[in-house]
Structure 1
């Protein structure tokens, strides 16, 4: 019998979410977030792939994912792992850094998905406990600012790529395909549609997109639909309506992919935003 469990919290008014979970059998389907995701492993070890390499986050280690970093995850052994993770929107990160430094900075980039840093682990743990434990809004904001500043100071290595960096031919193809998917995430697109948008063969589309983004185009399309579903769930829409409006066949189809991707059901995610403030 599985002993998997999870507890979720999300802010009702800004892109800030947190999860505390223990997984022995749950396997994360490859996915990404439109936020920064900072986690700390409390017990056991989690194995995952990110940016083309395999990684393991063991007890006390910190994980750092940039927005749109594709990754998966599962227990490294039969004993499972317990971890805490916080998802912070880029705009919240930018505001926190401005509060800490007094000036507007570029968004950070984390090149190492796993960090061995007890100070960061302690800082993340304190913020996470405040978010899920009912601390005052003022205390949460103070810890959020301190955590973001510490993560950037101790974990980030470089800034964003310059906007003028030239793209290779394969990157241009991948960007055209991504733009087509972003523009119409609910359209029933075919491989031929994407090939036409990119001006090349279907095989070239798949290879270029997989190389650039770590996803097949169909996986990326599903990711876009899941993000739509998250927003609709946060607005309080019935789950059956959410499924219909976000491109899933029905509520069970949405629930299956939502749980595989995020580790919680749509119902738990909806309830997480209804927790009373203290």
Structure 2
């Protein structure tokens, strides 16, 4: 049984990973990216919003940015290919072309999307430089045409969507200080009471404001590490109290240490 991770960078905001693993228990985490994955071999399951979905070969997994989930592998050997699509790419290259809040369901069996993902994987192995951000945009357009992309969550208004998107984009700002921002301050900035803000975060991101703030800090640290910052500088820039704090939240959020993420990002 071989274990391993292979990584490719596509443009500025997209990462592709091929994961090969034996049996592993799932743990609750989330990503600061929109994820589109193909279960190639083995058997896995993902738990999202209290529901559990089987991932057999041929399954497509679609997870929204900051959507908490637990993924576990149960076969002796499991192979999974996944794209991590950054929020900025989604906003500027996908949502800009029409309503596209996010993916409708976590797991589907759409064979057109599955085989598109297999083609991308094969091309990355053969000639990684030939795969562009435009290829990923075409994939997401296919997902939209196949009904996998929805305009917004149910009961979420235009104003709500704008508010939560402003908060998500805050992690991109160079002078953002998510580490010291309190929930009350974030709610005040959004023009909402603390209770209204908590309900909005829960409805649109699936988590409470404090957890969402931590995810934004992890996202900023990830970006800093990808841009070449050392771990101490990335920790300070993202607003963590120290590197130990950053390491704990990295493990909880993406299942690896900052040092592991740094190694994969090089």
Q: Distance in 2 between matches of 1:223 and 1:201?
A: 19
Displacement of 1:271? 3.6
Consecutive unaligned residues of structure 2, counting only runs of 5 or more, are none
Q: Which residue matches 1:101?
A: none
TM-score, L = length of structure 2: 0.73
Question: Structure 2: how far apart are the matches of 1:208 and 1:79?
Answer: 41
Structure with greater Cα Rg: 1
Cα distance per residue 1:232-253 (max 9 Å; x no partner): 1012111122122222243343
What number of residue pairs does the alignment pair up? 255
How far off is 1:224 after superposition?
0.7
Separation in structure 1 between the aligned mates of residue 135 and residue 25 of structure 2, nearest angstrom: 30
Unaligned regions of 5+ residues in structure 1, if any?
99-103
Asked if the contact 1:48/1:71 (under 8 Å) is kept, the reply is no
Q: CA separation in 2, counterparts of 1:26 and 1:5?
A: 17
Q: Is the 8 A contact 2:8 2:17 kept in 1?
A: yes
Q: Does 1:253 align with 2:245?
A: yes
| Mapped contact 1:46–1:73 kept (Cα < 8 A) | no
> Distance between the aligned counterparts of 2:247 and 2:221, measured in 1?
10
In the alignment, the residues of structure 1 paired with residue 128 and residue 3 of structure 2 have an alpha-carbon distance, to the nearest angstrom, of 29
**Equivalent residue runs for 1:152-163 within 5 Å:** 152-156=144-148, 158-159=150-151
Q: Report the secondary structure of 1:7's partner residue.
A: strand
Q: TM-score, length-normalised on structure 1?
A: 0.71
> Matched residues in 2 for 1:86 and 1:10: separation?
10
Q: CA RMSD in A?
A: 4.0
Q: Cα deviation per residue 1:22-62 (whole Å; 9 max; x = unaligned)?
A: 263353433242x3310011233333333564323222100
